[in-house]
Amino acid sequence: MRTGDGLLVRLNPVAGGLVPMSLIGLGESALRHGNGIMEVTARGSLQIRGLTTESARLLAAEVDALGIDVRSSVPVEIGPLAGIDPEEIADPRPLAERIRAAIEEAGLTARLGPKVSVVVDGGGQLTMDLLTADVRLKAVRADAGVQWSVSVAGDAHSAKPLATVDAEAARDIAVAALRMVAEKGREAHTRDLSERQLASLAGWHSFAPPSVLPDISPPWGEIRSRSAANSHVPTSAIGESARAGLISPLEGEMSGRTEGGAVERHRSPIGLLNLTEGHALGIALPFGSMPAQNLIDLASEAANLGATEIRLASGRALLFLGLTPSAASTLQACAVALGFVTSPTDPRTRIAACPGTPACASGHIPTRAIAETIAKQNPDLLDASLTLHISGCTKGCAHPGAAALTLVGDENGAGLVVDGTAKALPAAYRPGYDAARGVAGIFAALRAQSHQGETVAACLKRLGAAGIAELYRRNQ
């Protein structure tokens, strides 16, 4: 993808994990061919930035030489601890594999856009709830054993529920939904399906689906009539109202840059996680990016300490497997020294910041430096109701949605947007180098003026956009 700092390459290893030597090799390729910045996105994809058309080709050859098999078909995503998490309800890997095979068999990859995705969530310690997807399958416990709840177009909260069925029916519904999307063209997503089509999918399980799905998509007429005949099909479960809340699939990745801060609190991948055998140590990249050399150093230390595998996790994290508890604590100390995030309460996990200047040519302000200063000065970042986004320009790559406070760079400096997106008109400006001081003024007022029990978000509302803009402007 073309970005403000040249081409960006996103890699999703098929096997889910890399041996430490592969990550070291990728880091060296990033140094040789890119601008030396590597990223792990909020969805857990690895990105290398600053490539040219020619250097991207060289990088691809080196990825092949490293023996890293990368995903090239429709993403069918599973959690990074799939199959090794003692808390998961079901191992999602077999179902994900069957869906991948069915997609290939139906020839859908070429007919679907690159941002169409499926999530198969077996449950467990690391939630996939925040990931948007065209089709979501989530394992649930039922009297009949494990079932899969199928929903479409959104994250766990906004997706439209269709049905709760066994694995085979879940696969059939997922592939049928993708066929419907493919019929609408490469720009389409499941959010574009009609209520009637969704009702057809919801009713799919209540009659025996063919073992091999038909090649031509709508047997809609057929499905509709069969569906209608099944009056018990809970079409009311397809909440009309949910549509308003839909987030476009792969939000954040659509821009081709590191996604921004999901503010909802879920179990963090950062820290020590118990596995069926042994542990995984989660270490995150601050704001999703790091110089490649730091990643090489961390992976080298991990290899020396006996790590067998490094998995990419959503939340911009790397999970190191195969370490003893004492090796894990040695690696953690090394990560701290290299500037990585090793605690889930690190305030840097609460700020969305794109690369900004100097990494991105479109940037007007040094987003990461501003974010680092704010995080250092405010270790608690007030409370979890505050969303803070720092954007190098109005594109808002790191957080496409609205945030309580957004600092956005433009030719006038660092603008402040209250309760809006980076595209909104700023209410006040400061020079980019001095933006953190303006935010400090707002935070000081929030601390001094918030009422007992009042959240930061509520206090911001009470102070009003004009009052907050004044606080930002005047702090010296």
Residues of this chain that interact with ligand SF4 (CB under 6 A) are: 4, 257, 354-356, 360, 362-363, 391-393, 395-397
Closest distance to ligand SF4 from the beta carbon of 353 (Å):
8
Q: Which H or E run includes 415?
A: strand 413-420
Residue 127 vs 289, nearer CB to ligand SF4 = 289
CB of 423 to ligand SF4, least distance (A): 10
Query: Reduced to 3 DSSP states, what percent helix, strand and coil does the chain have, rounded to the nearest 5?
Result: 40, 20, 40
Q: C-beta of 392: minimal distance to ligand SF4 in Å?
A: 3
Q: Where are the beta strands (DSSP E) in 285-375?
A: 289-291, 309-313, 317-321, 351-353
Of the two residues 80 and 356, which places its CB atom closer to ligand SF4 in the complex? 356
Residue 80 or residue 355: which is nearer to ligand SF4 going by CB?
A: 355
Q: What is the largest CA-CA distance in the chain?
A: 71
Query: Measured from the CB of residue 432, what is the shortest distance to ligand SF4 in angstroms?
Result: 12
| H-helix or E-strand spanning residue 176 | helix 167-184
The residues, any chain, with a CB within 8 Å of residue 41's CB and separated by 6 or more, are 10, 47, 252, 253, 258, 259, 288, 316
State in angstroms the smallest separation of the CB of 360 from ligand SF4: 3
Q: Which residues contact 59 (CB under 8 A, 6 or more apart)?
A: 9, 29, 30, 33, 34, 48, 51
Which residue's CB is nearer to ligand SF4, number 7 or number 354? Answer: 354
Residue-wise DSSP of 2-66: EETTEEEEEE-BTTSEE-HHHHHHHHHHHHHHS-SEEEE-TTS-EEEEEE-HHHHHHHHHHHHHT
Nearer to ligand SF4, 343 or 362 (CB): 362
Shortest spacing between CB 230 and ligand SF4, in angstroms: 48
Q: How far is the CB of 96 from ligand SF4 (least distance, A)?
A: 31
For ligand SF4, the closer of residues 44 and 260 by Cβ is 260
The residue nearest ligand SF4 at its CB is 392
Return the number of the residue (102 or 398) whose C-beta is nearest ligand SF4. 398
As a whole number of angstroms, the distance between CA 409 and CA 365 comes to: 5
